[in-house]
Amino acid sequence: MGRKLLTEHINVPGIDTFEVYRKHGGYRSVEKALKTMTPDEVVEEVKKSGLRGRGGAGFPTGMKWSFLAKPEGIPRHLVCNADESEPGTFKDRELMSKLPHLLVEGMITSSYALGANTSYIYIRGELLYVLRILEKAIAEAYANGFLGKNILGSGYDLDLHVHPGGGAYICGEETALLESLEGKRGNPRNKPPFPAVQGLYARPTVVNNVESIAAVVPIINDGGEEYAKIGVGRSTGTKLISACGHVKNPGIYEIELGVPVEEFIYSDEYCGGIWKGRDLKAVVAGGSSVPILPKDLILKTAAGENRLMTYESLSDGGFVTGTMLGSGGFIAMDETTCIVRNTWNFSRFYHHESCGQCSPCREGTGWLEKVLHRLEHGHGHMHDIDLLVSVAKQIEGNTICPLGEAAAWPVAAAVRHFRHEFEWHVTHAKQAAQPGAVYPAQGVLA
């Protein structure tokens, strides 16, 4: 049983109220930071913890914080990225709706470290009901002197607001998020300047994922070194994994980084195996943007070592035989899953969500969707398979933001590992176009 640094009290009745949360040790990190530490000392602890951004990119949080420009007389901002939209990922929604005060506490401690006096939580618009939960928690924090002027007599002031999006995956990209927060379309900005220099309202800004901000709480409570003792190598601490798709027990699991993938899938402590007694076919381990891996490569690396739930182990083998931990959106597919249909579905998603700013992404995602649609529906040609790879390659690296790569990688990986299924959709076009049809080489279906 691994340690639960974030979710230990998640099922305590009333933990969404200030009173119960406080009784279970809530807001200690604020007291410790504001009363006994300088802002730089807080940053230092986060650096020592080795915490890496939990939104997907995995960039060290402490280092990101230390890049924040601090020009005299210009306000700085901390913005929490709660625009959780990566298919397969639902950890932040769970964390915010059940433990709203954990995020509020993390925001206060982190804002103090960065010297921000106005901070925002940008939450996806679909989660308006979670916005209400957070606003209630924020009101309670104000009423108890943890927000507002002169918090705990420290002289530090902080206002915290929640801001809803309007339904756009792209706003999870940090500069698109800032545009959106300014009341504009979510078009990602060219970088540089980076948000650390010119972010919200052209002021120095840090944007962090919900889970990263929440992790600051145990890091300050117990010290960065304690946090860094959990995990393997540069993958320190715990991570929330959203398990979904064809696992027996979908849900949120807080794991110590380093759990073997096989244990995560098959142990009753986690996913409990694959549903309906079926065999596992493939896994998308870190949200829909990361490369899909077939069963043998998700359980073991190409070198035959056990694959672990860490940033390094999952990316072992690069994109040839590896993938990424990403956001922790863990999508399992059983033997009856049609990989072509699934790839088409994800391509449709990226085409729909492309902001349209860069031609390679706007046009390329459309091409990917179109070609996959005709393969899936029995109108494909053999040369379409290489066309997919070619279009994916031309998107990659040619766009302002990473949505282009996010659209291209899954397609390239699906063709790399499941080319036989794409070919089957051409050679057995009529059969493949039937609803529920699946490549028959594996498993029970004829």
Partner 1 sequence: MESTTATVKPQFSQAAQAEIARLFTHYPAERRKSALLPLLHIAQAEFGGWVSPEVQDLVAETIGILPIEVYEVSSFYTMFNLKPVGKHVLEICRTGPCMLRGSDELTANLERITGAKVGGTSPDGLFTLKEVECLAACGTAPIVQVREKYYEQLDTQEAVDAMLNELRNLVHRPLLPWEETGLQHTQQ
Write out the residues near partner 1 by the rule CB under 8 A.
84-90, 92-93, 120, 124-129, 132, 159, 161, 163-169, 180-186, 201, 242-246, 250-252, 284, 288, 329, 331, 333, 337, 341-342, 345-346, 349, 352-353, 355
CB nearer to partner 1: give 84 or 316: 84
* In contact, 226 and 234? CB cutoff 8 Å: no
Q: What is the DSSP letter of 269?
A: T
Nearest approach in angstroms of CB 406 to partner 1 is 13
Nearest approach in angstroms of CB 242 to partner 1 is 6
Nearest approach in angstroms of CB 44 to partner 1 is 31
Nearest approach in angstroms of CB 317 to partner 1 is 23
CB nearer to partner 1: give 50 or 164: 164
Question: Exposure of 348 by Cβ count < 10 A (0-12 exposed, 13-18 middle, 19+ buried)?
Answer: middle
* In contact, 436 and 429? CB cutoff 8 Å: no
Phi, psi (5° rounding) for residue 77?
A: -135, 145
CB nearer to partner 1: give 243 or 308: 243
CB nearer to partner 1: give 102 or 283: 283
Phi, psi (5° rounding) for residue 292?
A: -75, 145
SS3 call for 433: coil
CB nearer to partner 1: give 37 or 407: 407
List b or e across 20-49, with b for residues whose CB sees 16 or more CB atoms inside 10 angstroms.
Answer: ebbeeebbebbbebbeebebeebbbbbbbb
Nearest approach in angstroms of CB 71 to partner 1 is 17
User: How many residues are there in the chain?
Assistant: 446
Nearest approach in angstroms of CB 309 to partner 1 is 17
Nearest approach in angstroms of CB 338 to partner 1 is 10
CB nearer to partner 1: give 33 or 355: 355
DSSP string, 28-43: HHHHHHHHH--HHHHH
CB nearer to partner 1: give 37 or 141: 141
As given in the structure block, the two tokens for residue 391 are 């279009």
Question: Exposure of 384 by Cβ count < 10 A (0-12 exposed, 13-18 middle, 19+ buried)?
Answer: middle
